[in-house]
Structure 1
């Protein structure tokens, strides 16, 4: 009985939230490809959520097979002239088509149409994230605090630099800060990187130099991460905690800004990994996403949707990487085609796709290792 209860808890508390988040992100990504392809006049054979055997589906009036498949770890749009779900051109079939029929295939479409269709998937992911953040901000508002110091930790970078309780942080490295979150966001991705903090004390401004310390922190679920900290704390009284409400247009602007923070934070993190200032243990795969989905689900629908927004941005960025097999790899080939005046040869593309697939598999293995063993140390 206990084993059944554990299994039921795993399904309802982790697996179902994970599948909800993943299905939403995949569906929107593939819908971007689908809508752009339709707009460009490219025929579409299938729209699939998941891989493997079909569980359910139907044909629409345009001849597209919409289906839900058994392995819910991705999806695809199959265009006319594609041999498989990976959009490999079926050259044998393409050779027997008329010019008009070929123009409705993906390979036969104009270069700009192919580029727009491919780019639309990642773009749809960014749009989804902005939409989720916008709705959240418009519905619930946003809690903010002024960047005023209530406490300075002993032996911290801030203490060594001379920051005192009551100081107002005005800017960091010349970039203005308006909330305490602005300070945290900027400092967290700069461990062991010298920064200049401008404070205002007794009506006068001072520039204080300090180096954020690399520190391991835990979130409310016990997940550990290394970030840069300078050792300052605010509280409700000193920071003037409040909820800022946004109108529709303001909420969209804030949603776009929040999505941009995720983009820049991702690149900052990767740069820190390359330079050795941070560990690569925050690169996770499906297991970590499933765990995070279950954790966010305990906080409510809004928290789960915000996780979906963060993951949507991450997947959009990943797909734009110039790696063959990914959307960014296709766009790279189209850029080469535009410069050369002719497409890259099939043999070259085949070799590049194999290399790209190997890179993706290596990343998947690394992420899965992090998910299962990376935190044990």
Structure 2
């Protein structure tokens, strides 16, 4: 039986919830994020704001320069989690094989579903209709027999659209696909691929597999498979948590090692609390330190460590500071890597 996967993605989720609950926010450039005076960044924005070049993860101050009329609200995560549970309840009416990716995004496996004579397209349409009717929110969907194509397809007709890629169109769809649209192909990787003359799926498909593996290793194998229309990943209804971390963005840059030590002291209790809540029985296998500099470039240092040690973060800091080169530090992050070989899996932790 051909696998039938639906990728559902709510449109501008946080902003859409705020506009739904406050009519004065509808139809205007709207973003969710921190204050421009506190080094805030945007978590998301609506399509009216995107017309000005505004995007998620953009500093609030920069966004306001692009669009002085932009309305920025702080957001309400508890509300977004609550609405997310309502979305999940709707998904469960159609299937219990669900892989949530975030509060507003999930894969659904509807293979063998008794609804709509098993039509994944009609199921996806009905899910979108139900979300809009009951929650007054719009969602886009991608339907395909493999995961990564379903995810890409859900973005093609956004907002409030659907795109279906049936099995007999997978090959042609992937061949014409720009490599930058494939999940995992970031800006740096795309530049490397382009330098090799690889721009679309058909280029990778025609490229020597051994050379791709030599250039990109494990990722090269994954890319080769995707460009041949291969994605054997199943829907994961649970996952292994790989890491736990905390971070702090400063209102003003810091520069000295002592300032960084003070930040570690303040962050460490939060890391302990989050680790205890998220993975109380997991074994620690490494610790990591992240610094983001005033030019928005960041560096990460990680080393193996079997027990959590606050002093070890200071040692990681010394190594990271060697890359500072006089730049101000706008963010510090602490993290621990967890043993993923343990058999017990944790449920997806999106408060669904």
TM-score, with length taken from structure 1 = 0.23
Query: Quick check: which one's helix share is greater?
Result: 1
- Which is bigger in relative contact order (C-alpha 8 A, separation at least 6)? 1
